[in-house]
Amino acid sequence: MTTYKPNTHLEINHDLSGTPVEINETGSRVSFIATQDMAADDKGLVHGGFVFSLADYTAMVAINDPNVVLGKADVKFLKPVKVGDELEAVAEKLPEDGRKLPVKVNVMRGDDTVFVGEFICMITPKHVLDL
């Protein structure tokens, strides 16, 4: 198994969206620690947008093209995440459907699955802001 370096989202804030641990021909793994800055309330509940960002970023680095964009996401939040939780997102590339590049992502806290999703990614001919 060959491990690749990130080739997309090179300016992303790893404190907010996770840090790549592995990128290979079949997918990727990204690690993440939920911080106090992500808290939505005084009990330490982490806003779901940060968990979504982790999963989305994991899908993007699985495709690992500088011009990858998200076209659609079908996701489920299964368990709450709290400040201090250590999460790992695992992305698996699924068979391509024309221009659509589906990626399945599971976000785990230890043995517990906290989030699942299927992301439909696409690669644009140029950067999306240059189209």
Beta strands in 4-57 (DSSP E): 19-24, 27-33
Per the structure block, which two tokens stand in for 118? Answer: 């299927």
* CA-angle at 2, arms to 87 and 28, nearest 5°: 25
Beta bridge partners of 20: 30
Backbone phi, then psi, for 69, in 5-degree steps?
Answer: -135, 160
Beta bridge partners of 39: 46
Domains and CATH numbers, the chain: 14-130 (3.10.129.10)
pLDDT of residue 131: 80
**DSSP labels for 25-58?**
TTEEEEEEE--GGGBSSTT-BBPHHHHHHHHHHH
Reduced to 3 states (helix: H, G, I; strand: E, B; else coil), residue 55 is: helix
Q: pLDDT tens for residues 105-116?
A: 999 999 999 999
pLDDT of residue 3: 73
Q: pLDDT tens for residues 16-73?
A: 999 999 999 999 999 999 999 999 999 999 999 999 999 999 999 999 999 999 999 9
What is the pTM (predicted TM-score) of this model? 0.96
